[in-house]
Structure formats: structure tokens, C-alpha cells
């Protein structure tokens, strides 16, 4: 399986990092080894002094498809989860400044937190999903899918022009504003609505 992440899909987050608003979905990959083993703590990697959390709605692909038309894209996923796209912001900024790919800032081991449970999309109002992240019991991010620049269907249509989507691929759909650093001892909890989707300790 592969993990595809959308960057800059919320205006408020693009602005907080001083980025332009994209006119097509910006995406990058994480390897499957980025998946944080369930229930394990997140270990801050030794190569970074500025690891950020980015809470994101995650689509789980349920069939193989290529060149998927936007109007059929909704048939390629039926479950939505919640995860964190952990980012080594210092490494990312360094790479961006040099014009280098910033994959290593995004794809390191454990950089893809994913909740154990997914929610059937039939139970959700897709363009009005509230999700949030708490750090040490304080809410640090609050987002709603209605604020996405590119909808789930647009994202699937766009990615599938380049990559064949396969069963169990995950698509991280971008983070709202409020990203910030983690330190050892923090506890992060993610929610869709009131439902707790994951809890991870930072070590």
C-alpha cells in the first residue's frame, strides 16, 4: 500500500506557513514504513529539533482505479479515518530553501499516525466533517472538511491521473491551521466530531 498526502488544502494553514494557495492539489508520498504501529508511542527522530503535528482526515481506498473521473471518485472509498502527518519542519524548511525534495522531512518511520477505527462515510456529512486535535488535553487544531480547497473527489481524480490507486491506499487530505511542535511527554488525541479516533504518546 501507499500513503498519499495532500499539502496546502486549507487556506488558513497555507497562510500560517507563508505558502501560496495552490491551483491544483499538491501531493507527496510516504512509504508504508511511515505507518506508526498501533498503540506505540511516537519517538521523536534524532535528526530533527522541530517535529510538527498535522491532524488530517484520511480516506481509505477500496478499489483499484486509474484516471478516475471526479463524478465516480466517491465510489473509490467508503471509510474515513483520522491521522497525523508528522513533519520535521526544520528539515523541510532546509530542503525547500535549497530547492531539494523534502521527502525525508515527511516520510520517516512513524511519520504517519493513523487511528485504529475508520468511520463509514454514510454516517458522515462529507462536506461538513469537524475534526480536531488535542495536545495535553488542550485543543490545538480544529478543522472542517467544508474548508478544504480541493474536495475528496477532486483529490482522488487528480492523484489517479498520475498514480494507480489500489485497495487500502491511504490519502491524507491536508491539515487546517494550528500546526505546532511536539516534545517528549506530550499526549496527542484526535477526534472526528466527539469521537476519539487515536491517542499517541510522544517520547
Q: List contacts with Zn ion (CB under 5 A).
A: 54, 85, 175
User: Closest separation between CB of residue 93 and Zn ion, Å?
Assistant: 15
Q: 85 and 133 in contact (C-beta within 8 Å)?
A: no
Q: Which residue is nearest to Zn ion (CB)?
A: 85
d(CA 54, CA 48): 16
User: Closest separation between CB of residue 88 and Zn ion, Å?
Assistant: 12
User: Closest separation between CB of residue 172 and Zn ion, Å?
Assistant: 6
C-beta of 19 vs 75, nearer to Zn ion:
19
CB count in 10 Å sphere of residue 39: 10
C-beta of 54 vs 134, nearer to Zn ion:
54
Q: 47 and 30 in contact (C-beta within 8 Å)?
A: no
Beta strands in the chain (DSSP E): 3-7, 26-30, 51-53, 55-61, 77-85, 87-88, 112-114, 119-120, 130-135, 138-144, 170-172, 180-181, 187-192, 195-201
User: Closest separation between CB of residue 75 and Zn ion, Å?
Assistant: 25
- Rounded-to-10 torsion of CA 141, 33, 79, 17: 30
C-beta of 9 vs 153, nearer to Zn ion:
9
d(CA 58, CA 169): 10
Sign of the CA dihedral running 129, 192, 115, 181: positive
C-beta of 21 vs 69, nearer to Zn ion:
21
User: Closest separation between CB of residue 9 and Zn ion, Å?
Assistant: 8
C-beta of 137 vs 149, nearer to Zn ion:
149
Amino acid at each position: 500500500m501507499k500513503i498519499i498526502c495532500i499539502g496546502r488544502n486549507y487556506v488558513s494553514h497555507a497562510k500560517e506557513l507563508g505558502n501560496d494557495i495552490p491551483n491544483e492539489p499538491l501531493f507527496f508520498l510516504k512509504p508504508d514504513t511511515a505507518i506508526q504501529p498501533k498503540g506505540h508511542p511516537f519517538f521523536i527522530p534524532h535528526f530533527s529539533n522541530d517535529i510538527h503535528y498535522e491532524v488530517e482526515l484520511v480516506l481509505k481506498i477500496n478499489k483499484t482505479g486509474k484516471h478516475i473521473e471526479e463524478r465516480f471518485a466517491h465510489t473509490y472509498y467508503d471509510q474515513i479515518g483520522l491521522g497525523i502527518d508528522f513533519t520535521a519542519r526544520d528539515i523541510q524548511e532546509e530542503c525547500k530553501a535549497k530547492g531539494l525534495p523534502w521527502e525525508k522531512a515527511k516520510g520517516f518511520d512513524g511519520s504517519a499516525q493513523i487511528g485504529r477505527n475508520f468511520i463509514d462515510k454514510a454516517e458522515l456529512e462529507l462536506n461538513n466533517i469537524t475534526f480536531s486535535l488535542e495536545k495535553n488535553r488542550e485543543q490545538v487544531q480544529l478543522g472542517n472538511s467544508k474548508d478544504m480547497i480541493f474536495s475528496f473527489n477532486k483529490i482522488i481524480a487528480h492523484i489517479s491521473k498520475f498514480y494507480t490507486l489500489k485497495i487500502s491506499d491511504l490519502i491524507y487530505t491536508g491539515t487546517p491551521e494550528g500546526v505546532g511542535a511536539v516534545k517528549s511527554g506530550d499526549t496527542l488525541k484526535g477526534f472526528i466530531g466527539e469521537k476519539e479516533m487515536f491517542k499517541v504518546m510522544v517520547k
